[in-house]
Amino acid sequence: MIASGQPLLISAVLIGTALVLLLAEALWPRRSHRLPLAQRWRTHLGFVMINMPVERGVQALVFIGVFGAITGYAAQPDFGLLPMTGLPGWAQGVLAILLLDLAVWAQHWATHRIPLLWRLHRVHHPDRDLDMSTALRFHPLEIALSMLLKMGVALALGAPLWALIVFELLLAVLPMFNHANLALPLWLDRVLRLVIVTPDMHRVHHSTARIEHDSNYGFCLSIWDRVVRTYRPRPSGGHQTMTIGLTDYPGRESTRFGWSMGLPFR
């Protein structure tokens, strides 16, 4: 959410992370695939080709236009809630990252509770397999709304510029990681999920079982699900035998790009 070099930086991090995770998934897969990879990845790449211009367009319209006009791109804004605290700049930045992540968590929770938002968000859920490419599977209208929310929160907070950069990088990397079909050592998973959302933790959220589907909403930090008590450590049927996707769409519809894009309007 900054000007000039930020889109290129995030795109480079996104591509680099994707390549590393693709290799890791091939070497240490957690589950066997139910559907052909080529069919799924074509659809997910289709979302990338549409969503990246949408993200950049919303950034240019709202962030560069509004935020830039207000702040002059100052590294440390003198307006908003955080400057009013009197905290040092580094503390304001850390608090901004935490609150932005909480806002994204709350948005994700709301998309499962508000029917109109669920129509958009359910595009993400019919995938019957789960790997790093699933993190790219979001409807462009949901992407645009998410960008507007983040920018609104950033403006209200008066978040430092460096904190916005760090948060956008985290939001580019961690969702691909926690959607990955990756078998982490159990001890490492236990340690990591004390702070961040791991693949085994987030996989529970993609279960067809409603009680599991309505849990583990986090993409970055794991603390919010623990605090709000929406945390479930594991699927009841185990990671190998659990069913992923939506019970309404048990076939191969999700592997078709046109079907996926039109899902909110059905």
65-80 pLDDT per residue, tens:
566 666 666 667 778 8
Return d(Cα 120, Cα 198) in angstroms, integer: 24
Which residues, in sequence order, are CB contacts of 251 under 8 Å at separation 6+?
A: none
Of the ranges 23-27, 53-57, 230-234, 242-246, which one carries the lowest mean pLDDT score? 53-57
Cβ(147)–Cβ(80) below 8 Å: no
Phi-psi group of 139: left, alpha or beta (phi > 0 → left; psi -120 to 50 → alpha; rest → beta):
beta
- 127 band by pLDDT with thresholds 50, 70 and 90: very high
User: Which one has a higher pLDDT value, 30 or 250?
Assistant: 30
Distance (Å, rounded) from C-alpha 82 to C-alpha 205?
A: 33
**Residues 254-263: what's their mean pLDDT?**
94
Query: In 3-state terms, what secondary structure has residue 34?
Result: coil
Out of 17-26, 116-125, 223-232, 244-253, least confident range: 244-253
Q: Distance of CA 193 to CAs 21, 30, 44, 91, 184, Å? A: 18, 17, 27, 24, 11
Of all residues in the chain, the percent with pLDDT exceeding 90 is: 66
Residue 1 has pLDDT above 60, yes or no: no
pLDDT exceeds 90 at position 10: no
Average pLDDT over residues 37-50: 92
Q: How much is the mean pLDDT over the chain? A: 89
Indicate the domain borders of the chain: 6-27+50-259
Pairwise CA distance, residues 139 & 124, whole Å: 8
Residue 41 has a pLDDT of 93
2 pLDDT more than 50 = no
Answer yes or no: are the C-beta atoms of 2 and 63 closer than 8 Å: yes
Structure confidence at residue 140 (pLDDT) = 92
Q: What is the mean pLDDT of residues 162-191?
A: 93
